[in-house]
């Protein structure tokens, strides 16, 4: 049994509560590690360590800060296999997917490390005479980072790399279901030479440990990824102190297939949209919108391919669909299958826990497809976060747009068509932060990502993301002596 401690001020440290909680392997159901239960006093210690480290970190030459982030990238690269294995043990995602993420994560630290010394203010040629005007971009201070269980270190890096490059320090509260990797990651930050207190990790549950962190008066910003429900609570709490907030929340993304699409590619896209990662991604293409003229033929092809998906051990190279990560999530997925059936949707694949070859005592669900779904059903409106696909027919472009936009979320959409004009029209009219055309689930540290509507606030990744962790200071310096009337604006 692995036994972890908190990571505060560059050192491992026991939680004040002297309590630990279990974390389990979703595939076997076995408890494999003890995670420290941090309380408000631990949060306070971590925020104080981050605040204390902040002055030195912000004052460090930006190129030196960038250099340290690049050293961290090299260390992460060397530890990719080990970290991927920890992620799989804790969240049950495919090893192939997690190893891919771990090998990609170093790029975030290289990209934003390289950007650290390119944060430039401006000299503004204002219309005032006798005053010199310029801007500087300064860090916010301590950033609280609250992350989910589906891609723990990947989603953390979206926040941590630009925040550190900008000169902020961090207190991380990972998901209570997948805390181990953040605690391991923090050790690598020290090994890379990041000063003590720049990166701190306090583990615990959302309602107490997470809430204490959000409410801490010395936290300047909360960067959150998770459910819209928790995002709303965090936003409300942060509003009390007018803290900066970024929110990357859920989705109910449509994958829209027109009759003129490359059918083979669209079938692969539909499957990757919902069954990859066992549907546990914010960008899951959980609504498949099919033009009516190709509906039956497409569903037939979709079923043929979905049936070949191999369910089981996420560590095995030939597994396609692993377990659902958390026990409450497992229950939620099964509950939604019942809700969809009661609503009158037709289950044409799966619809039950998986107990075939490779079943393990863990949280396995059969890939499930519902046809005959109406967009006003709960199964089409609410985020399930599991391998459940809702198929909805549409008539024409206008109908597709209406259905696609008729949800509270707006994270992403897929469009499958061979008509270039339609690609442009659809990308204009879809109320979402990312539109994929004839592809799905493409991601890069260089390209902005974030949500419209209830899918979130702010953008992660890309050049501009670093601005979310900076504030602008404007400086006016008189170049001429000025003793004009004090009662009139300059």
Q: How far is the CB of 24 from Mg ion (least distance, A)?
A: 5
Q: Which is nearer to Mg ion, 195 or 210 (CB)?
A: 210
Q: Which of residues 206-235 bind ligand NAI (CB under 6 A)?
A: 206-207, 210-211, 214, 225-227, 230, 233-234
90 binds, among ligand NAI, Mg ion, none (CB under 5 to 8 A by kind): Mg ion
Please pick, from the candidates 79, 246, 329, 368, the single residue that binds ligand NAI as defined by CB under 6 A: 329
Interface with Mg ion, residue 175, by CB under 5 A: no
- Residue count, binding to Mg ion (CB under 5 A): 3
Report the residue from 42, 90, 313, 383 that binds Mg ion according to the rule CB under 5 A.
90
Backbone dihedral angles phi then psi of residue 141, each to the nearest 5 degrees: 130, -125
The whole-angstrom separation of Cα 274 and Cα 346 is 17
Catalytic residue among 248, 264, 343, 480: 248
Cα(21)–Cα(273) distance, integer angstroms:
34
Query: Per DSSP, what are the bridge partners of residue 289?
Result: 256, 392
Q: Report how far apart, in Å, the C-alpha atoms of 176 and of each of 90, 108, 206, 208 are.
A: 10, 24, 8, 11
Among 221, 249, 364, 391, contact with ligand NAI (rule: CB under 6 A): 249
Judged by CB, which is closer to ligand NAI: 192, or 234? 234
- How many angstroms separate the CA atoms of 26 and 100, rounded? 20
How far apart are the C-alpha atoms of 230 and 249, rounded to whole Å? 9
Backbone angles phi, psi at 384, to 5 degrees: -90, -45
Is residue 282 part of the annotated active site? The answer reads: yes
Tell me: does residue 87 bind Mg ion (CB under 5 A): no
Pick out residues in 7-46 that bind Mg ion (CB under 5 A): 23
Q: Which stretch binds ligand NAI (CB under 6 A): 130-138, 203-211, 442-450, 462-470?
A: 203-211
Phi, psi of 286 (to 5 degrees): -80, -10
- Name the one residue in this structure whose structure tokens are 């990166």: 199
Closest residue to Mg ion, Cβ-based?
90
For residue 180, report the phi and psi dihedrals to the nearest 5 degrees: -60, -45
User: How big is the chain, counted in residues?
Assistant: 490
Q: Give CA–CA dist 448/464, Å, rounded.
A: 8
338 classed as catalytic: no
Residues that bind ligand NAI (CB under 6 A): 146-150, 173, 175-176, 205-207, 210-211, 214, 225-227, 230, 233-234, 248-250, 282, 329, 332, 383, 385
Residues that bind Mg ion (CB under 5 A): 23, 90, 177
Residues labelled catalytic: 248, 282
């Amino acid at each position: 049994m692995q036994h972890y401690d908190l990571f505060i001020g560059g050192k491992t440290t026991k939680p004040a509560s002297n309590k630990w909680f279990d974390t389990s392997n979703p595939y076997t159901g076995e408890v494999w590690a003890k995670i420290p239960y941090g309380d408000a006093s631990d949060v306070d210690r971590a925020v104080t360590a981050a605040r204390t480290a902040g002055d030195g970190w912000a004052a460090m030459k930006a190129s030196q800060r960038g250099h340290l982030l690049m050293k961290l990238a090299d260390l992460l690269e060397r530890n990719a296999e080990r970290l991927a294995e920890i992620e799989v043990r804790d969240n049950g995602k495919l090893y192939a997917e997690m190893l891919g993420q771990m090998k990609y994560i170093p790029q975030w630290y290289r990209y934003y490390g390289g950007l650290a010394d390119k944060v430039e203010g401006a000299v503004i040629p204002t219309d005032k005479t006798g005053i010199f005007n310029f801007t500087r971009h300064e860090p916010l201070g301590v950033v609280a980072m609250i992350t989910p269980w589906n891609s723990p270190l990947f989603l953390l890096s979206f926040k941590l790399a630009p925040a550190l490059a900008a000169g902020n320090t961090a207190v991380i509260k990972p998901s209570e279901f997948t805390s181990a990797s953040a605690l391991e990651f923090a050790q690598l930050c020290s090994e890379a030479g990041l000063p003590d207190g720049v990166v701190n990790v306090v583990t615990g549950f959302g309602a107490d440990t997470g809430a204490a962190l959000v409410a801490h008066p010395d936290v300047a910003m909360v960067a959150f990824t998770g459910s819209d429900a928790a995002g709303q609570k965090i936003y409300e709490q942060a509003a009390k102190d007018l803290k900066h907030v970024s929110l990357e929340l859920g989705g109910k993304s449509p994958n829209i297939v027109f009759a003129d699409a490359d059918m083979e590619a669209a079938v692969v896209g539909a499957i990757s949209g919902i069954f990859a990662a066992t549907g546990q991604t914010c960008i899951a293409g959980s609504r498949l919108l099919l033009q009516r003229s190709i509906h039956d033929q497409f569903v037939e092809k979709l079923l043929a391919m979905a049936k070949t998906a191999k369910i089981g051990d996420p560590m095995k190279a030939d597994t396609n669909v692993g377990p659902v990560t958390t026990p409450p999530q497992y229950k939620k997925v099964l509950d939604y299958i019942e809700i969809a059936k009661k609503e009158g949707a037709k289950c044409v694949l799966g619809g039950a826990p998986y107990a075939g070859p490779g079943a393990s005592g863990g949280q396995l669900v059969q890939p499930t497809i519902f046809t005959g779904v109406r967009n006003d059903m709960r199964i089409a409106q609410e985020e399930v976060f599991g391998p459940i696909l809702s198929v909805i027919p549409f008539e024409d472009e206008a109908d597709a747009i209406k259905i696609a936009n008729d949800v509270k979320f707006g994270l992403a959409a897929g469009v499958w068509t061979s008509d270039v004009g339609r690609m442009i029209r659809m990308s204009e009219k879809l109320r979402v932060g990312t539109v994929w055309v004839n592809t799905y689930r493409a991601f890069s540290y260089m390209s902005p990502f974030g949500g419209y509507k209830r899918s979130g606030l702010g953008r992660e990744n890309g050049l501009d993301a670093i601005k979310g962790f900076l504030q602008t200071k404007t400086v006016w310096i008189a170049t001429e002596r000025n003793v004009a009337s004090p009662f009139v604006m300059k």
